[in-house]
């Protein structure tokens, strides 16, 4: 969407709920963003659910990344920081 060198990673988490609310906060602030979701677990169609799963934490297998165009990166980080501060109040 933005081009390889024209985007900046502004947020990364393993928490689906946090990712969703941060993504919505960026949309509400009218900041264009692109999302990348990466599954780092060993479970797939070939291995099934048992092979290679000992000691893994399934809740941490999926990573959510949010990218914005470089010109929006500082504003996006500010919106994310303000949102996270509002959660801790």
User: How many structural domains comprise the chain?
Assistant: 1
Full residue range of the structural domain in which residue 75 is found? 4-43+60-84
Q: Is 64 inside a domain boundary?
A: yes
Does 51 reside within a domain?
no
- Domain contains 54: no
Whether 50 is in a domain gets the answer no
- Sheet containing strand 62-69, edge to edge, reads 7-13, 62-69, 34-39
CA 79 – CA 11 distance, rounded (Å): 11
* CATH code of the domain covering residue 13: 3.30.70.1530
Is residue 55 a part of any domain in this protein? no
Give just the sign of the alpha carbon dihedral 11, 17, 21, 23. positive
88 vs 53: which has the higher pLDDT:
88
Residues 47-63 have a mean pLDDT of: 63
- Of residues 42 and 17, which shows the higher confidence score? 17
């Amino acid at each position: 969407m933005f081009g390889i060198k024209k985007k900046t990673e502004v947020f990364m988490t393993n928490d689906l709920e946090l990712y969703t609310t941060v993504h919505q906060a960026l949309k509400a602030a009218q900041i264009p963003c692109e999302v990348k979701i990466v599954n780092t677990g060993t479970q797939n169609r070939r291995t099934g659910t048992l092979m290679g799963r000992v000691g893994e934490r399934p809740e941490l297998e999926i990573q959510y990344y949010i990218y914005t165009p470089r010109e929006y990166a500082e504003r996006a980080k500010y919106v994310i920081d303000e949102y996270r501060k509002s959660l801790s109040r």
